[in-house]
Amino acid sequence: MTAFLHRAALPRCLSWRFLDVMLHNIHGTPHLIPRHGAQFVAGGGRSLAAYTRAQNRMQHTEAAGAVEVDIKRLDGEDAGIVEVLMCQHKARNALGHIFVSQMREVVSALSNDSAARVVVFRSLVPGVFCAGADLKQRALMNNAESDLFVHGLRSLMTQIASLPTPTIAALDGVALGGGLELALACDLRTAAYSAQMGLIETTRGLLPGAGGSQRLPRMIGISLAKELIFTGRRVGGQAALEMGLVNRATEQNQTGDAAYREALSLAREILPQAPIAVRMAKEAMNRGFEVDISSAMAIERMCYAQVIPTRDRQEGMAAFIEKRPPRYTGE
């Protein structure tokens, strides 16, 4: 489906056992920070990884030759920017079995790709970012199968949120339900004023089940998030900008890719910065946001310690003294 992605070990932020010791000294009791380990599906001891592998095997024949999620590496001055392309035209990028399986493959590969400095999630389907759940497929699932599938979606969004590089979702069209949850899993979002987005699950007898009920309140505040989820309301790009749901919003252009152009502009602002420093900053903010301030300071200290011995830090200092632009290599 996709071109071979170069894989290399990424710098890790912390020695987590050492951090637990530090937090023990701060609080007097062990404070364990969960890492990504085996997750288990509801109703038994079957691991999510095993379920996903089984699903992938079942879909192998059907998925052969059907590209619903692809990848594009930019070159030249934009080298380091990677685009995740969602291109399921018939189902409007709905979160069906093949789409989810291919998205998981791409995200898994990017998580170990040191050449990627910024990742942009965009749609090639006009007027649509992601339409959310594939209701035709979901209608064929029994209760247990539906629970397993949504659990897999939740895991996928966590994988996206855990990518070490900055991620940007470009919303040039509709992003509803799971489609907005995918955008919420990204670090940053851009939108066209004409885009429509919302967590509409309560209008279908459901609630947001792929992280939306947790990420939206953290992003825009609990009271406003409750209003949007309780009512299933859709909002446009301008309203989304005003409430902090997106970082940038712009008028749509004639080619229908204004949000993508804005995302690319944002990616180009990130691209020249020291890649290890950017990754460690993301790690520090993501992990620190979920704990108390004393624990967060310990996390920041450990992340900061990772950049001190890098060549990029030395290059940054040298460039400042010599009054020239730095040339960061990610080392």
**Contact present, 97 and 146 (Cβ < 8 Å):** no
Say which of 94, 170, 179, 181 is annotated catalytic: 181
| Spatial distance between the Cα atoms of 245 and 329, rounded to a whole number of angstroms | 33
> Shortest CA distance to 229 belongs to which of 246, 205, 208?
208
Unique residue bearing structure tokens 């937090």: 23
Q: Are 48 and 40 in contact (CB under 8 A)?
A: yes
CA 9 from chain centre, in angstroms, equals 20
Place of tokens 């995918």: 182
Q: For residue 172, what is the enclosing H or E element? A: none
Within 10 angstroms of residue 230's Cβ, the number of other Cβ atoms is 11
Q: Which one from 178, 198, 212, 330 is the annotated catalytic residue?
A: 178
Helices 293-307, 16-27: axis angle to 10 degrees equals 140
Q: Is 181 a catalytic residue?
A: yes
Q: Which of 132, 152, 175, 201 is catalytic?
A: 201
Is 201 an annotated catalytic residue? Answer: yes
- 37 is annotated as an active-site residue: no
Q: Rg of the chain's alpha carbons, rounded to an integer?
A: 20
* CA atoms in the 13 A half-sphere facing the CB of 157: 24
Q: Is 236 an active-site residue?
A: no
Active site residues: 133, 178, 181, 201
